[in-house]
């Protein structure tokens, strides 16, 4: 996954930035190729680093998970449990587990993906009460189908690209084919997924002859990577995207599905919880309302940006125009665009630790309510 300026300030505040750099691989350009392997003009990411002070990195998800988990006391995380039911009683919320245990708390945060069981439970209650908007009752709209996989550790003698000091991230745009391939090179060393050999292997066979550029002078195809990938590490995933309008109800609250968005949601909630004066229903409702007010614009923009990015891989005149503009935009215009869009406004600050006074061109945005109940040195 890609980690950059929108998360790295938080990593620095948490004291894990330096260690993250040891597991991430620095990325400066995104490179696209036509199916003939004719290269498109690379998209230079360095102007973003100039404006924010943080680079872009590719990191393996398991390594990032391990880094974050090390910061949390082990007794605070419980693995291998299945939630059977969620109930509310006496200003408490309880989750009932398959092992017959019950855990009580003041709130429940649904961070369980696009097909969130917490959201479904919350929406059932809202629908019964006649409070669920019609748009939130509709199914997730289908976006595209992805074949996702991770190779085993590649031999640098056979694949020299993995020994390069910087990450190579490339996209291949198939000619007159409904396929776009994205490949990222790293270190040497649900319900919408069709797991198992047949669905994924069928798509592998459909795409294995697409040529790829691995910068070793050899004629390579996706099949060369498929052959280096254990079958259990491949899945066919149907992507479905939607921004729901109902994020909370009583003591339930939801977080987004997606690496950066979900982390920003978590940061916003943590800040607001820290500033919450009490645990009454009124206080919790106010905090949840402020949370949605803060995060909804950023989430909506991220959703729209994702749809725009997807169009670069689309077939037809719109996709061709967007791809062309993306690859030919000069660096000076890219810098102006960053200022106009205020990219770094989507950075969050974790208020429980000392707010960083970063010497950047654009400072992170903050929510005023966060500081209402904070004492020095936390107040701005």
For 72-99, the pLDDT digits (tens) are 999 988 888 888 888 988 889 999 999 9
pLDDT at residue 19 in the model: 97
Lowest mean pLDDT among 86-95, 190-199, 214-223, 360-369: 360-369
Q: Calculate the CA dihedral of residues 344, 347, 352, 353 and round it to 10 degrees.
A: -50
Find out whether 52 and 61 touch, Cβ atoms under 8 Å.
Answer: no
DSSP assignment letter at 363? P
Flag whether pLDDT at 342 surpasses 60.
no
Lowest mean pLDDT among 50-54, 259-263, 376-380: 376-380
Answer whether the bond into residue 377 is a cis peptide, omega within 30°.
yes
Spatial distance between the Cα atoms of 44 and 330, rounded to a whole number of angstroms: 9
Residue 377 exposed, middle or buried by CB count within 10 Å (0-12, 13-18, 19+): exposed
CA distances from 34 to 37, 172, 183, 212 (A): 5, 6, 14, 9
Flag whether pLDDT at 309 surpasses 60.
yes
Say if strands 108-110 and 252-254 run parallel, antiparallel, or are unpaired. parallel
- Residue whose pair of structure tokens reads 């970063």 in the numeric block: 358
Q: What is the mean pLDDT of residues 204-213?
A: 90
Sheet holding 180-184, edge to edge: 43-44, 29-34, 169-173, 180-184
pLDDT at residue 40 in the model: 81
Lowest mean pLDDT among 79-93, 260-274, 359-373: 359-373
In sequence order, the β-bridge partners of residue 87 are 94
Pull the structure tokens for residue 311. Answer: 């169009």
94-122 confidence digits (pLDDT tens): 999 999 999 999 999 998 887 888 999 89
Flag whether pLDDT at 370 surpasses 60.
no
Q: What is the three-class DSSP state of 321? A: helix
Find out whether 79 and 72 touch, Cβ atoms under 8 Å.
Answer: no
Spatial distance between the Cα atoms of 325 and 85, rounded to a whole number of angstroms: 50
Q: How confident is the model at residue 338 (pLDDT cuts 50, 70, 90)?
A: low
- Give the rounded percent of residues in the chain with a pLDDT score beyond 90: 31
Q: How confident is the model at residue 363 (pLDDT cuts 50, 70, 90)?
A: very low
* Measured distance between the N- and C-terminal CA atoms of the chain, rounded to whole angstroms: 33
33-55 burial code (b ≥16 CB/10 A, e <16):
beeeeeebeebebebbbebbbbb
Give the residue, 298 or 377, on which the prediction is more confident: 298
> Of 242, 243, 258, 256, which is closest to residue 291 (Cα–Cα)?
256
Flag whether pLDDT at 378 surpasses 60.
no
Q: What is the mean pLDDT of the chain?
A: 79
Flag whether pLDDT at 358 surpasses 70.
no
Q: What is the mean pLDDT of residues 126-148?
A: 87
Alpha helix (H) ranges present in the chain?
A: 8-13, 17-23, 46-52, 61-69, 117-128, 134-137, 197-207, 222-226, 259-275, 281-311, 317-328, 331-341
């Amino acid at each position: 996954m890609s980690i950059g300026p929108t998360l790295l300030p938080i990593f620095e505040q948490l004291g894990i930035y330096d260690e993250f750099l040891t597991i991430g691989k620095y990325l400066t350009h995104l490179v696209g190729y036509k199916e003939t392997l004719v290269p498109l003009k690379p998209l230079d990411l360095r102007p973003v680093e100039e404006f924010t002070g943080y680079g872009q990195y590719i990191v393996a998800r398991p390594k990032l998970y391990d880094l974050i988990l090390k910061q949390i006391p082990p007794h605070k995380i419980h693995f291998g449990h299945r939630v059977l039911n969620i109930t509310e009683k006496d200003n408490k919320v309880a989750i009932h587990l398959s092992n017959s245990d019950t855990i009580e708390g003041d709130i429940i945060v649904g961070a369980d993906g696009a097909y969130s069981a917490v959201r479904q439970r919350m929406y059932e209650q809202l629908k019964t009460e006649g409070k669920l908007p019609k748009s939130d009752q509709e199914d997730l709209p289908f976006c595209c189908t992805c074949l996702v996989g991770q190779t085993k550790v590649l031999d640098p003698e056979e694949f020299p690209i993995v020994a390069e000091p910087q990450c190579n991230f490339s996209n291949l745009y198939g000619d007159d084919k409904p396929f776009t391939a994205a490949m990222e090179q790293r270190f040497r060393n649900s319900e919408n997924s069709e797991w198992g050999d047949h669905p994924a292997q069928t798509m592998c066979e459909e795409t294995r002859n697409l040529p790829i550029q691995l910068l070793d002078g050899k004629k390579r195809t996706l099949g060369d990577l498929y052959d280096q990938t254990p079958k259990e590490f491949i899945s066919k995933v149907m992507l479905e995207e939607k921004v729901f309008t109902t994020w909370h109800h009583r003591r339930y609250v939801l977080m987004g599905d997606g690496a950066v968005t979900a982390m920003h949601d978590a940061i916003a909630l943590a800040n607001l919880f820290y500033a919450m004066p009490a645990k009454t229903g009124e206080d919790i409702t106010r905090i949840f309302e402020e949370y949605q007010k803060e995060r909804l614009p950023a989430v909506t923009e991220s959703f729209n940006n994702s749809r725009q990015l997807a169009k670069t891989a689309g077939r037809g005149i719109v996709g061709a125009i967007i791809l062309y503009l993306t690859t030919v935009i000069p660096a000076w215009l890219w810098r102006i665009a960053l200022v106009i869009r205020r990219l770094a406004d989507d950075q969050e600050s974790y208020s429980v630790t000392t707010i960083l006074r970063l010497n950047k061109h654009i400072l992170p945005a903050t929510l005023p309510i966060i500081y209402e109940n904070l004492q020095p040195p936390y107040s701005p």
